[in-house]
Amino acid sequence: MKKIVVLMFAVLCFAPAAFADNWGYGYKLGVGENRPSDLKDLHNYFSGFPSSDTKLETSGAFFAAETFYEWSLSNEVHKIGAKVDFDYFVENKTESQTTLYQECTETTYAIPLTIYYKRDNGVKAFAWFGGAGATIMYTEMQYKGYNKNIKTKSKIIPHIVVGGEYRFSQLFALGLEARYNFDAKVKKSGILLSDRSGFGGAVTLRFYL
């Protein structure tokens, strides 16, 4: 898997822009599956203290930015693309106030690298695409209370992507994207730091340069 990531990264970084029919950047706002089971267990533990005021905040929302290249194949309709995203997931958090204030926060970032096929029907038309790749998932879990403890871990996981967009002009497209993450459980020392396995979807804004 690491060799695949290195190869995809090399394609994105060193493919000459002179051969690219379209390249640009985009932004995404989406939501995906989120299973912070160990954080919920800690919340339940906090709730067991007498006179405890506990709170649990979880979210599957994420924000992302991307950059991409696209190359034409036999004609302008069929294209191969390569893109890299940077995803920030809204944090999960539990906190408890008794005689001592305690909190535990999970923050996750992801860098998906994707190769995809695209059927481009031109301006004022819909286009669709599908592809696959690998995601570098990074999670930090931080506890504050009796002491301060920070656990971090990264993991490389496979994913698949499908989506479509409407090209309003040569410069701008609006679309939808769905992604499935395989086995996106990030663990360290037997603790589940995060689990973003499964489906996610996003609204996408793409700008072609």
DSSP string, 114-155: EEEEEE---TTEEEEEEEEEEEEEEEEEEEESSSEEEEEEEE
Of 13-27, 64-78, 192-206, highest mean pLDDT? 192-206
180 close to 11: Cβ distance less than 8 angstroms: no
pLDDT > 70 in the chain, percent: 89
Scored b (16 or more CB within 10 A) or e, 196-208 reads bbeebebebebeb
Q: Is the pLDDT of residue 19 over 50?
A: no
| Residue 181 confidence (pLDDT) | 97
Query: In this predicted structure, what is the pLDDT of residue 18?
Result: 44
pLDDT of 43: 84
For CA atoms 69, 110, 154, 133, the dihedral sign is negative
Radius of gyration for the chain, computed over Cα atoms and rounded to the nearest angstrom: 20
Record the tokens describing residue 110, joined without a space.
């992801």
Over residues 83-138, the pLDDT tens digits come to 999 999 999 999 888 767 888 999 999 999 999 999 999 999 999 999 999 999 99
Q: How is residue 73 annotated by DSSP?
A: S
Output the pLDDT for position 168.
97
Percent of the chain residues past pLDDT 90, beyond the cut: 67
> Predicted confidence band at 17 (pLDDT cuts at 50, 70, 90)?
very low
Question: Of the ranges 21-25, 50-54, 142-146, 147-151, which one carries the lowest mean pLDDT score?
Answer: 50-54
Instruction: Tell me the per-residue pLDDT of 133-170, one tens digit each, with 9 for 90 and over.
Output: 999 999 999 998 777 889 999 999 999 999 999 999 99
Q: Which residues on neighbouring strands pair with residue 39, listed in sequence order? A: none
Q: What are the extents of the domains in the chain?
A: 2-208
Q: What is the pTM of this model?
A: 0.84
Fold of domain 2-208: Porin (2.40.160)
Token pair of 63 as six digits? 């924000």
The per-residue pLDDT for 44 is 86
Report how far apart, in Å, the C-alpha atoms of 94 and of each of 36, 42, 130, 197 are.
Answer: 11, 8, 37, 21
- Helical H segments across the chain, by residue range: 2-14, 37-47
Sorted by sequence, the CB contacts under 8 Å of residue 123 that are 6+ apart come out as 167, 168, 169, 170
